[in-house]
Structure 1
């Protein structure tokens, strides 16, 4: 699994574990729902700034987005 796929899967898993919709996470991270969908489906390489906002919205350390599960 490449890093982009791992990050995408981790975002999905963390979002679902918190009971958030893609739309709610996108709102909290200040990005469109469509853009969030592309990040979660590994069709877009998110910037570090965006990953930091997503981690903050999920209330996790940004390093958790990269952790092998």
Structure 2
């Protein structure tokens, strides 16, 4: 559910933040990364994607957060 500002909110009206999502994942022991069962990954993680296009992971993350990619 999104508020009038477009920010995702929880069922109790709190905002989803990176810290809140990390805490939820940690509490439920959900891994950050899980390899594909067949060993063929259909995606790249941030570090591998940055290496592939020749930029630093920080540069790629900042471009993503700014909506440039």
Query: TM over 0.5, yes or no?
Result: no
Radius of gyration: which is bigger? 2
TM-score by length of 2: 0.30
User: Please, what TM-score do these two structures have when normalized by structure 1?
Assistant: 0.30
When you count helix as a share of all residues, which structure comes out higher?
A: 1
Give the structure, 1 or 2, with the largest relative contact order (CA under 8 Å, sep 6 or more): 1
